Amino acid sequence: MTSRPKKHAAGAKHSRARTADPKNAVLAAALAHAAFDGFTDAVLTRAGDEAGVSRSELRRLFPQGPLSLVEAFSEWADAQMIRELAKLKLASMKIRERIGRAVDARVTVLRPHKEAARRAAAFLTLPPHAPMGVKLLYRTVDSIWRAIGDTSTDFNFYTKRAILAGVYSTTLMRWFSDGTANETETSEFLRRRIDDVMKFEKFKAQVRERMGALPSLADILNPDRRDAAPRSKATGA
């Protein structure tokens, strides 16, 4: 069962001593309001009051106001996704299944807060917030790759994250508009996107194999060097 931010009882707003994690408490209170009012200063202030967090502490916890609140929402969802993936036997799965399970886990975490997640995504499309949107997307796909056991450190490290960013972000957008029972359209969309990625990876491998059979750039620029190798071999030099 997916863990979600714990919402404090009505009488807790004046009991900061009982708030073990004030940031999480503010987030929990804010999500209920953000679903209707979006991520605004008013929503953040109201959530802080409901969580029993002073205005000065609220500014410390969320220095960029609503933007920091959206960041906290994304960080919480990433952490919950990692917990869910840790319950699975990922090592026994093929890479395509791992990716599918991971993206599905991230969406499942957001499901109780679908409208708030939609509002957060719209908030991050605003030009002043776009850099944060890119940063949060990178954090999410990086968390996914690490959670499913990726250990690459070469150029593939970046290409894998770029490809997964496309898969995850488009799947999320499809989920926002999915009104089918059990969100079957989103599941089918995700399956097709992963199929496309696997075909592309196969194509890249074929290109690398064919490129390896071609002469090097040094050989092309220096034909004498290319022709010298067979002659030296034939003469035993």
Radius of gyration of the chain (CA): 25
Residues 38 and 131 in one domain: no
The reply to whether 149 and 178 lie within a common domain is: yes
Give the pLDDT score at 211.
54
Is residue 221, in this structure, part of any structural domain at all?
no
Q: Which of 11-15, 144-148, 211-215 has the highest mean pLDDT?
A: 144-148
**Residue 226 is assigned to a structural domain of this protein:** no
The answer to which of 4-8, 67-71, 85-89, 226-230 has the lowest mean pLDDT is: 4-8
Identify the pLDDT of residue 233. Answer: 47
Domain shared by 164 and 91, yes or no: yes
Domain limits at 114? 66-212
Taking every pair of Cα atoms in the chain, the longest distance, rounded to a whole number of angstroms, is 94
> What is the residue-averaged pLDDT of the chain?
84
142 is a domain residue = yes
% of the chain beyond a pLDDT of 90: 66
CA distance 45 to 224: 75
Share of the chain above pLDDT 70, in %: 76
Same domain membership, residue 19 and residue 41: yes
Q: What is the pLDDT of residue 11?
A: 41
3-state helix, strand, coil in the chain (%, to 5): 80, 0, 20
Q: Taking the model in full, what pTM does it have?
A: 0.78
Closest residue by Cα to residue 103 from 165, 179, 150, 162: 165
28 Cβ contact partners less than 8 Å away, ≥ 6 residues apart = 4, 5, 6, 7, 8, 51
208 & 128 share domain? yes
